[in-house]
């Protein structure tokens, strides 16, 4: 395929605006997959993961190649389906590096939403051609003209460039293909140049090892070629090469401008570096610009429910991170929960999805600790990042008195409808922000006219405030109408303290958390109460305390269980008594000891998974 007949493009949009549905239609229209009518029809065929199907969201970007005839010419179109949620924006910018254009899809009933703005900016930054597409025009509530002018004013796009489609019914989908061919520039890479393949994604196949997705930005790659990595300098033989059509389809060759997969006997997942440049052995090339490394923003400890399963869990986590390189791993051990891993995620949805994938794909049952953000401690001109509350110094420590604590901040964007009957939303959203320690709340109208307007609200918030219940509250208080996105805004000084929970004076390390001074009492009370509900009564009284800076913030007492378990089993029934005691011993094995208190592992599970 010569370059001028190739188009590499992505579909970008806010969550649920119809990317995966449009991808299905494009694959059908080009006969890449067979059309299926009725309720059993093709549904988000590119969303292959169980979690994606269950939640109806795209988590992992997928690549699919198709052929399309236009004006007597046969084109090769490479589509990259991208996820819409803020936590996965890394996947978006990564995918776009292999594209020369993108369809910016907007739901004609919802209009511009927070992530529409963020993905637009990512695409703009990469300098690629953007084609605005208005989707769901089949719905009675669609307002194509209004939304079209909203898109035009928000992004400075020409309204005449807008395409009107229904990904559901297929209306206008051919025009989308024609626009891809007509408006998106062909890649301009040199087939005669030395091989340079950008490795932009990888997955693990039990039989063939690592399968990498590559974008060829120079030269040709063939089965049997010997290649090397610019990053690791390791050498490999290409055993298979081809395109995703939409499944792996061996072609034996890929050339500059194309996107496809390679298998090259790469055994270890760690060898496939996302952003690496692969070249031919014996040729020296300038590596392509790599990707900005991602920064984990939310950390949590993951422990097996059954401590014996640690090795298996660790192996599963390693396998899973191969398909999701943005997760960071470190070993961690806790007196309460045993051996585990401390993982870093891009956000809480990311964390949730990872946990679900561990359960779905690796059959793991895990306990996940409360999420925490990375704090910075500055002392004597040196700074240190702390991502585990256990490592956070006590307020009473001498060093702590001379140190400054800083916390990560974000610039948040909330978009909410504001009409005569909906006045309350804007106020509610402002209240929500204020109650989460927001600064500089500011708003403006997105549409210039009309009775039902949209307001864009911007504010600076501590990241720690949005990793817990912020998103749920936002959706709840706006009846689902508000959309939300945020970006990194650096670190700021803050009055954070470590809160520890104690059982009869002994700390439960897995529950330590970092809390703003103003929230100590509220948070402490809530958790102590939750703990009281899940801790089984012991033969003695148990004091449950929340402690911060050497002060008891909250306390509850769990009264003693007076009954002797064997009381009802009198003398003669020795065997029964023994059996009973043995059974108790069995149960004890699954218990964790904090001081002299036995806690079932499930108690941690319950307390940590309750909202
Ligand atoms: P994420 O991958 O999670 O970001 O979502 P998405 O953008 O891929 O959206 P998806 O294709 O999963 O569609 C979301 C919902 O909108 C699904 O229930 C689709 O059936 C529905 N939908 C998509 N396009 C249309 C359309 O043109 N008309 C109507 N009526 N519904 C549509």
Is residue 183 a contact partner of residue 104, using CB atoms and an 8 Å limit?
A: no
**Token pair belonging to 63:** 């690549």
Average pLDDT on 5-15 reads 91
**Is 16 labeled as ligand-binding?**
yes
d(CA 340, CA 314): 8
The pairs formed by 350-356 with CB atoms below 8 angstroms and a separation of 24 or more are 350/87, 350/88, 350/298, 350/326, 351/298, 351/300, 353/51, 353/55, 353/59, 354/320, 354/324, 354/327, 355/302, 356/51, 356/54
**Token pair belonging to 94:** 């990564």
d(CA 440, CA 566): 64
Average pLDDT on 180-205 reads 90
Name the strand (E) or helix (H) holding 54: helix 50-55
**Is 130 labeled as ligand-binding?**
no
Q: Where are the alpha helices (DSSP H) in 324-456?
A: 348-362, 398-402, 423-434
pLDDT attached to residue 562:
65
Average pLDDT on 525-548 reads 91
**Is 136 labeled as ligand-binding?**
yes
CA of 390 to the centre of ligand 1 (A): 43
Pairing of β 453-462 and β 375-379: unpaired
Predicted-assembly ipTM surpassing the 0.90 threshold: yes
Model pTM? 0.73
**Is 243 labeled as ligand-binding?**
no
Tens-place pLDDT, residues 66-97:
999 999 999 999 997 665 555 666 666 777 88
pLDDT attached to residue 89:
63
Average pLDDT on 45-53 reads 54
Tens-place pLDDT, residues 128-151:
999 999 999 999 988 899 899 889
Q: How confident is the model at residue 440 (pLDDT cuts 50, 70, 90)?
A: confident
Task: Indicate whether 346 pLDDT > 80.
Answer: yes
* Most informative mutation of 19, 21, 25, 133 for ligand 1 (most atoms within 8 A of CB): 21
CA of 355 to the centre of ligand 1 (A): 25
Q: Which atom of ligand 1 is nearest to the CA of 13?
A: 7
Q: SS3 string of 462-499?
A: EHHHHCCCHHHHHHHHCCCCCEEEEEEEEEEECCEEEE
The residue whose two tokens read 């939640």 is 55
**Cα-Cα-Cα-Cα dihedral sign, residues 189, 192, 193, 196:** positive
pLDDT attached to residue 343:
94
**Is 84 labeled as ligand-binding?**
yes
Q: Which of 110, 64, 114, 120 is nearest to 86 (CA)?
A: 114
Task: Indicate whether 477 pLDDT > 60.
Answer: yes
CA of 611 to the centre of ligand 1 (A): 29
Q: How confident is the model at residue 584 (pLDDT cuts 50, 70, 90)?
A: low
Q: Which atom of ligand 1 is nearest to the CA of 55?
A: 3
DSSP 394: P
Helix axes 348-362, 310-323, angle to 10 degrees: 120
Within a 10 A sphere around the Cβ of 339, how many other Cβ atoms? 17
Task: Indicate whether 436 pLDDT > 50.
Answer: yes
* Most informative mutation of 84, 147, 167 for ligand 1 (most atoms within 8 A of CB): 167
Q: Which atom of ligand 1 is nearest to the CA of 135?
A: 27
Which residue, judged by its Cα, is nearest atom 10 of ligand 1? 18
CA of 24 to the centre of ligand 1 (A): 11
Task: Indicate whether 206 pLDDT > 70.
Answer: yes
Q: Which atom of ligand 1 is nearest to the CA of 47?
A: 2
Quick check: bond before 246 cis, omega within 30?
A: yes
pLDDT attached to residue 247:
82
d(CA 78, CA 61): 13
**Is 20 labeled as ligand-binding?**
yes
Residues with CB under 6 A from ligand 1: 13, 15-21, 44, 56-58, 83-84, 135-136, 138-139, 166-168
**Is 459 labeled as ligand-binding?**
no
| Percent of the chain whose pLDDT exceeds 90 | 41
């Amino acid at each position: 395929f010569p370059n001028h007949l190739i188009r590499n493009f992505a579909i970008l949009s806010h969550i649920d605006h119809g990317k995966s549905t449009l991808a299905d239609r494009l694959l059908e229209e080009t006969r890449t997959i067979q059309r299926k009518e009725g309720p059993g029809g093709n549904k988000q065929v590119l969303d292959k993961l169980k979690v994606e199907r269950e939640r109806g969201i795209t988590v992992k970007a997928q690549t699919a190649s198709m052929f399309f005839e236009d004006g007597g010419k046969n084109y090769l179109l490479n589509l990259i389906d991208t996820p819409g949620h803020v936590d996965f924006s890394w996947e978006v910018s990564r995918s776009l590096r292999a594209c020369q254009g993108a369809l910016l899809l907007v739901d004609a009933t919802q209009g511009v939403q927070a992530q529409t703005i963020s993905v637009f900016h990512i695409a703009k930054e990469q300098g690629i051609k953007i084609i605005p597409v208005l989707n769901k025009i089949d719905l009675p509530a669609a307002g194509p003209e209004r939304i079209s002018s909203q898109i035009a004013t928000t992004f400075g796009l020409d309204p005449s460039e807008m395409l009107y489609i229904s990904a559901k019914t297929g209306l206008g989908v051919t025009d989308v293909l024609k626009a891809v061919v007509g408006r998106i520039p062909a890649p301009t890479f040199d087939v005669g140049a030395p091989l340079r393949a950008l490795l932009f994604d990888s997955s693990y196949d039990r039989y063939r090892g690592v399968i990498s997705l590559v974008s060829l930005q120079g030269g040709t790659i063939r089965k049997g070629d010997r290649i090397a990595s610019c990053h690791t300098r390791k050498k490999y033989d290409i055993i298979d090469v081809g395109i995703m059509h939409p499944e792996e389809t061996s072609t034996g060759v890929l050339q500059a401008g194309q996107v496809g997969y390679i298998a090259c006997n790469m055994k270890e997942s760690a060898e496939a570096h996302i952003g690496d440049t692969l070249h031919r052995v014996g040729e020296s090339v300038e590596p392509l610009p790599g990707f900005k490394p991602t920064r984990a923003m939310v950390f949590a400890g993951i422990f097996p429910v059954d401590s014996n399963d640690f090795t298996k869990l660790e192996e599963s986590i390693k396998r899973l991170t191969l398909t999701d390189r943005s997760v960071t791993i470190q070993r961690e051990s806790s007196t309460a929960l045993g051996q585990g891993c401390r993982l870093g995620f891009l956000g809480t949805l990311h964390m949730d999805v990872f946990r679900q994938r561990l359960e779905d794909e690796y059959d793991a049952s895990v306990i996940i600790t409360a999420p925490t953000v990375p704090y910075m401690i500055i002392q004597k001109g040196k700074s240190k990042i702390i991502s585990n509350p256990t490592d956070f110094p006590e307020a009473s420590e001498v060093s702590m008195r001379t140190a400054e604590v800083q916390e990560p901040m974000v610039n948040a964007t909330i978009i909410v409808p504001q009409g005569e009957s909906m006045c309350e939303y804007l106020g509610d959203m402002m209240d929500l922000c204020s109650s989460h320690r927001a600064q500089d709340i500011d708003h403006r109208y997105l549409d210039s006219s009309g009775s039902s307007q949209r307001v864009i609200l911007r504010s600076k918030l501590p990241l720690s405030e949005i990793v817990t219940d912020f998103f749920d509250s936002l959706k709840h208080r706006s009846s689902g109408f508000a959309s939300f996105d945020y970006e990194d805004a650096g670190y700021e000084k803050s009055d954070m303290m470590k809160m520890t929970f104690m059982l009869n004076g002994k700390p439960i390390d897995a529950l330590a958390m970092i809390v703003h001074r103003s929230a100590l009492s509220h948070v402490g009370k809530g958790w102590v109460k939750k703990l009281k509900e899940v801790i089984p009564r012991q033969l003695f009284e148990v004091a449950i305390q929340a402690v911060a800076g050497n002060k008891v913030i909250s306390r509850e007492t769990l009264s003693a269980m007076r009954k002797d378990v064997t009381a009802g089993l009198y003398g003669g029934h020795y065997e029964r008594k023994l059996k009973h005691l043995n059974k108790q011993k069995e149960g004890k094995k699954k218990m964790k000891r904090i001081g002299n208190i036995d806690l079932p592992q499930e108690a941690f599970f319950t307390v940590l998974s309750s909202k």
